[in-house]
A and B are shown apart, each in its own frame.
Chain A
C-alpha cells in the first residue's frame, strides 16, 4: 500500500495500539531544557523512577540564559535557580547537560541538528512547540507538555492519536531577496494561525528542494504557527551531506548503512493526503506581520487588510491592530523602527548570520536603531567569529551577543520596551512576547538587516534590483 513519508516513520515507531485506539509511539530522541522540565523531574522523584533511556535524552540551558557575560553567575535569581535546578536534575538522573560555557550549548533546536543528533527517520520530542524544526531532516518531531516530558523520561514513549496529513507544495523560483522565512510566513498568512490544527505537514516541491538544510529548518520550525503539530521534508542528498561527519551522526560504514535506510524515506507517488495546498514561489515577496499572531502577514508591498478575514471576529482584529498601533488599509513601508532582533531557533544559524553580514558589510545601522544579533549556539558563535562576522557586526553597530533564546521570548534581560516596534527574525508576534507591551513585526533576516540600516521598514528587494 502507498504511504506518505509521515506514515512510514510513524508506523515504524508504533509499539502497539492501546485500548481506546491510541498509538503507543516510541521516541528516539528527547531534548529537555530548564523551563519545561523541573516539574517532570519532580514527578519521577515522587514515583521513584529513573530516566529510562538517559543516552537518548539531551539537555541544554537556553530559554533563561543571559546573552552577555555567560561565564559569570546568572544575575536574576529565578532564572539562576531554574538553570541550577536543571544542573541538579541532570546530575541526579545521569543526563548529559550542555550547560552554559559548554562548547555545545545553545538553543535546543539549533544544537540537535548541528551535532548530528537529529537524523532522518527518527521520532523526536521536546517540551517546546518549535521541536517541529527537526522535521527538516525527514523526522517526526513535535512539541509536548511537561506531563508528557515526564512520560517520555519514564518510558521513552507517548500515547498519541495519529494526526491527519497535509501536503504543501511550493514550486518555482524565489525572487532575489526573498528567503525561506518569507515562504513560511506567506503560507501561514494564507492558511491562518489555525489552518494546520490536527495535521502534520509535509513540505514538497521544487522551491523546497532547492533550499539548504538551514533554510528548510526555518520552514519546519514555524509549522506550529499555523497550528500544525509538526512539518517535515523528505530527506535528500542535501540532507545526507549535512548530516555526514557530524559529531553524533553514524560514522564510516555505519553511515553508509544508515544512508541506505534513509534513502527509503519519501512519500510514495500515489499516496493520499487528507489535504493539499499548492503555492507558487515567484509570487512570494518579503513578508511582514502587522498583527499579533503569525497568520496576520502581508508582503511588504501590500497594505494592512481593511477588515478581519471571513470567519474571524472583528473584535479580535481591532484589538490586534490597536495593540500594534497600525490602521486598517495602511502600508507599513517607511514606518520608523527602533529595535531589530536577529536570532531565535527560526533564524540564528550560521547561514542566517552570513547573509546578514554580507548584506551589511561596510555599512552602518541607522543611528536610532538598536540591533541585537544572537547566535543560536556556541558552535554558531565560534564559527561566526572564525569567519570574522562578529567584526562586521560590530563595525556596523550591531550588538553581537552570546547564544540563547534571548528576545524571542524575553525570559532573560533581552526585552523590547513597551510600545516599541521590533522587526524580529523570531517566530511569534504575540502580545508581549518580546517584553510587556512590545510590538513585534516578524520578518526574514534580510528584511531585518535592511530595516536595521534604514531605521524604517523598507523593501529589501530594492537592494537586489540595483545590483
Chain B
C-alpha cells in the first residue's frame, strides 16, 4: 500500500446519498483477475450511455471539476463488499473521499488500499459542497497526521476521526497482513488450546 500523509487538491462534488458499490463499479466489470484498470469503469453507468457515449451531465465528465478528492452524500459505499470499488476510485486518481457517513465494509476496503475516507458532520459536508459550487478551483488540504480537512481560502477546518491503528498503517504504508503473519505461533497456540 502507498503511504499517505497529506494532499492539497481541488475536489469533485457528487451530492448523492447511498452511493452503492454497484454504482461505483458495476458487477459486469468485476471479471478482471488483477487489481489494475478498474478506473476506466468507475461510475460506468452514470458516466456513459449504453453505447459508450459520455453523459455530459455527470460530474466526472464536466471539465470544470477535477481533483483527487471526491465529496459525496451520506452512506457512501453501501452494498456489496467488492474491494474493486476502492480500487476503481484509487485507479481513477482519487486519494480521498469525503462524506458525512461511510458504509463499514467500504471504509475498511478504502483504508486497506491507501484511499482515505474522511467523515465530516452533515453541516461541514454542506459547507464543503457549497464552497466547491461557488469556486470549483478552490483547493482543500487533507492532513492525516493532524486529522484535519481544511479549506485555506475561507479558513474552514473540519477534523475527522480515524482508527489509530489504521492511521499508522496509512502513514507508513503497512498492510495488516505483515502484522498477522508475525503472530503465527500465537495463532497456532490458540488453535491447540
Contacts and interface: CB of A to CB of B under 8 A. Distances in A.
A-B complex is real:
yes
Interface of A: 15-16, 18-22, 24, 26, 35-36, 38-39, 42-43, 47, 49, 52, 63-64, 78-79, 81-82, 85, 127-129, 143-148, 150-151, 154-159, 161, 163, 193-194, 197-198, 224, 227, 229, 292-293, 295, 312-313, 315-316, 319, 409-411, 418, 428, 430-433, 436-437
Interface of B: 15-18, 20, 22-23, 26-28, 30-35, 45, 50, 73-75, 78-84, 86, 101, 103-105, 108-109, 112-113, 163-165, 168, 175-177, 179-181, 183-184, 186-187, 190-191
Nearest to B45: A432
Nearest to A83: B31
B183 to A, nearest CB: 6
Given A21-B165, A35-B30, A316-B73, A431 B22 contact: yes
23 contacts: A16-B183, A35-B31, A43-B177, A52-B187, A128-B81, A145-B108, A146-B83, A147-B177, A150-B177, A155-B184, A159-B176, A193-B78, A229-B104, A293-B18, A293-B20, A312-B17, A313-B16, A409-B22, A411-B28, A428-B22, A432-B22, A433-B22, A437-B50
A329 B157 CA distance: 41
Given A127-B83, A154-B180, A315-B15, 9 more contacts: A15-B190, A18-B179, A21-B165, A39-B35, A143-B105, A150-B177, A293-B18, A411-B31, A437-B50
B165 A155 contact: no
Please provide the 10 A-B residue pairs with the shortest distance between their CB atoms, ordered closest to farther.
A20-B165, A145-B83, A78-B31, A38-B33, A145-B109, A143-B81, A129-B81, A194-B75, A147-B112, A316-B17
A24 B191 CA distance: 13
Contact of A197 (B20, B75, B183): B75
Contacts of B191: 26, 156
Contacts of A143: 81, 105
A430 to B, nearest CB: 4
A436 B45 contact: yes
B187 A26 contact: yes
A145 B85 CA distance: 10
A20 B163 contact: yes
Contacts of B175: 147
Contacts of A433: 22, 27
A447 B3 CA distance: 51
B117 to A, nearest CB: 13
Contacts of A193: 18, 75, 78
A135 to B, nearest CB: 15
A396 to B, nearest CB: 29
A155 B30 contact: no
A409 B26 CA distance: 9
Contact of B177 (A154, A224, A312): A154
A39 B34 contact: yes
Given A197-B75, A293-B18, A410 B81 contact: no
Contacts of B18: 193-194, 292-293, 295, 316
A161 B163 CA distance: 9
A39 B84 CA distance: 10
A156 B74 contact: no
B28 A410 contact: yes
Contact of A430 (B79, B112, B163, B165): B79
Contacts of A229: 104-105
A115 B48 CA distance: 43
A194 B101 contact: yes
A36 B32 CA distance: 10
Contacts of B176: 147-148, 151, 158-159
Contacts of B28: 410-411
A293 B15 CA distance: 16
A233 to B, nearest CB: 20
Nearest to A126: B81
Given A145-B108, A229-B104, A79 B81 contact: no
B31 A81 contact: yes
B16 A411 contact: no
Nearest to A86: B33
Contact of B109 (A22, A81, A147, A312): A147
B163 A145 contact: no
A460 B188 CA distance: 54
A437 B32 CA distance: 23
Given A197-B75, A293-B78, A409 B164 contact: no
A59 to B, nearest CB: 15
Nearest to A226: B78
A293 B30 CA distance: 21
A21 B83 contact: no
Nearest to A37: B33
Given A227-B78, A436-B26, A145 B112 contact: yes
A318 to B, nearest CB: 11
